[in-house]
Structure 1
Amino acid sequence: MLWRAISEDQPGPKWAGLFAEYWPDYHKWWLKEGDSARPTYLEGRRALKAHMPEIVPLYDDLCELAGGGDHAARFLSFYCPPPYLSGCSQAIWTGREPVMVRNYDYHASAFDCLITHTGWQGRKVMGVSDGLWGMVDGMNDAGLSISLTFGGRRVVGEGFGVPLILRYVLQTCETVEQAGAALARIPTHMSYNVTVLDRKRNYVTAMMSPDRPTILSHTAVATNHQENVEWISHARFTATVERERFLLNRMALHRDPEDKFINAFLRPPLYSTAFAAGFGTLYTAVYRPRRQNMEIRWPGTTWALDLKDFVEAARQVHIPGAAEPAALPQV
């Protein structure tokens, strides 16, 4: 896996080049259910204007950089995209300094392998990219960190792909209270658990669903179910209950020091080797909101990045099994 860290203060030629590189694969994925299955450009833009109006000017700029095509603009709205699943575990270490730790479990062939650092609309944001302006985890210059896991439900509805919701929170929010309010009102097209941590040690996990109100919970752990297991076969395959119980025990019974707690994410049961099924752990991310830095970890190596002193670079990472063709999970 070739990882890249890219910095561009405002949308420009770097982002346009990345879009041109990634678009053929994203276009194929976006059309896998046919053109008519996806909302029109006007439907997507109206939804953005209704629910995330602050980033509509940014969306318009990115559409222009992407070439102004109809399909590209519809894709970039993230409105009602094709369904997709991931695994993932995330937790807040509640020791002396607040730390967010997460594993991202997904199929390597459908992953950006891209860390972006942007100053869009005057807000510094860095994190792991999805869809080239969405994020699966990240932090901003207010010290707000955010991460997602799949919520373990089959239901697909009208709403946004969750990576854009994370981008919106990082662009517009500074506190957990503000983030929770945004997550409670923005519609999502599938069920996700979104955990947010700020520099004052406040945190919340939003259990978002397309068919019922978002639940805001003061829980420091999220895996791949919400209050109860609803998709039993998925829960068994991903061991979501076992992973949640393991993390809760580490926090409640053992009170691990920070390094030991983080290192637990690089070993079973949190670390997954189910790459052939599309649920292998592609990386572990560590966010420290007070220091405004992050780490991407793999077994045996760590990549540290700083929001204020971000350095563009590339890393070739070999994860045994991750290069094998994955059977993409079905909803």
Structure 2
Amino acid sequence: MSRPQKTFRAIEIGDGDDRWAAHAQALWPRAEEWLTEESRTAEGAARARVLFATHMPELVPVLERLARRLDRPGGETFLTLATLRPFFSGCTQIGVGGTLLRNYDFAPDDCEGTVVSSHLLRPVIGMQEGAWGLLDGMNDAGLAVSLTFGGRFVHGPGFALPIVLRYLLETCDTVDEAVGALRSLPIAIPQNVTLVDSEKAVTVFVGPDMPLTGAPDACAANHQHLPVPDDQERFSRTQERLSAVRAAGGDVAAMLKPPLYQYAYDEGLGTLYTAHYRPAEGRVTYHWPDESWDQSFAAFAPGSRVIALGRAG
């Protein structure tokens, strides 16, 4: 059986050029599918704008500039990432020794696969989703963050977490600052966030039906403070993966092997990439079983790679 392939791209964007616009316009047909019926109405668009301005005022000028460059009906509403259809993924992550290590598990065709070095409010590098949101990333202050799905299929008013990670990296310097900001942000679906700086590593649980809750340690798979139903556990193996990532303790090689590395691409739970952030050094390496890709603030290299996912043979 042939291995699925995915193209990953690395792009550099600033606040004064049109490189972002060209990339986002190419993504728009896919992005538009994320919009809900509510977000396509004037009332829904207004609510999304108010929510964004209330909770992320520092990013409002950036939102306006990007929306003008995207230049698509409904573009600004989409970019708030506040009225989108929920998405549920896999993933495993750990913060240890000043590093953040994560596997991102999802359907290959439904992940943007774009590594972005941006300078919107400050230098940030991360794996982009939702045109300017982030699945994981780091900033020039030495803070790194990453998300996983929290395992509960509930949905409420609030933000998709990729825009929240973008906000944290654009406005916070430390884990404590970021956790403080997270406490006041409405989150649309249950998610787990792992945060790392040079002094601390933590994981917190967030969601539309619960206050921010600290995890026992800086590890996360796809459940929160309660176990998931038995059939969901058999499918996702979230408890098994959490135990495995704890035992691995930041070992990249372990992330590239089962049970942490998953092959269920047809079910939307295959591992698309492993990211290893060293935020104090401003460096990240994206790993696959057959190759790796280094990026950093000091030497960011735009380009693309076609990756054969999974294992050979």
TM-score by length of 1: 0.88
Distance 2:247 2:12 in 1: 39
Paired position in structure 1 for 2:166? 167
Paired position in structure 2 for 1:131? 130
Distance 1:36 1:17, change over 3 A: closer
More displaced, 158-167 or 207-216? 207-216
The amino acid of 1:66's aligned partner reads L
Among all aligned residue pairs of Structure 1 and Structure 2, give the percentage whose two residues are the same amino acid.
35
Deviation >4 Å, runs of 4+: 33-39
Paired position in structure 1 for 2:105? 105
Paired position in structure 1 for 2:49? 45
Tell me by how many angstroms 1:183 deviates: 1.2
Tell me by how many angstroms 1:320 deviates: 4.7
Are 2:275 and 1:285 aligned? yes
Deviations 1:88-128 (A, max 9, x none): 0001233xxx211000000011111100001112x100010
Tell me by how many angstroms 1:228 deviates: 1.2
Tell me by how many angstroms 1:42 deviates: 1.4
Distance 2:248 2:28 in 1: 42
More displaced, 225-234 or 55-64? 225-234
Distance 1:159 1:128, change over 3 A: same
Distance 1:283 1:234 in 2: 23
Aligned alpha-carbon RMSD (Å): 1.8
What runs of 5+ residues in structure 1 fail to find an aligned partner? 252-257, 322-331
Paired position in structure 2 for 1:263? 253
Verify the 8 A CA contact 1:293 1:305 in the aligned structure 2: yes
The amino acid of 1:74's aligned partner reads T
SS of 2:280's partner is: coil
Aligned ranges 1:311-322 → 2 under 5 Å: 311-320=301-310
Aligned ranges 1:153-164 → 2 under 5 Å: 153-164=152-163
Work out the number of aligned pairs and report it: 306
Verify the 8 A CA contact 2:274 2:287 in the aligned structure 1: yes
SS of 2:254's partner is: helix
Verify the 8 A CA contact 1:11 1:120 in the aligned structure 2: no
TM-score by length of 2: 0.93
Are 2:89 and 1:86 aligned? yes
Distance 1:263 1:51, change over 3 A: same
Tell me by how many angstroms 1:11 deviates: 5.1
Deviations 1:111-151 (A, max 9, x none): 11100001112x10001000110000000000100000000
SS of 1:214's partner is: strand
Distance 1:6 1:309, change over 3 A: same
Verify the 8 A CA contact 1:107 1:279 in the aligned structure 2: yes
Distance 1:248 1:132 in 2: 32
Are 2:210 and 1:186 aligned? no
Paired position in structure 2 for 1:152? 151
Paired position in structure 1 for 2:244? 246
Verify the 8 A CA contact 1:44 1:74 in the aligned structure 2: yes
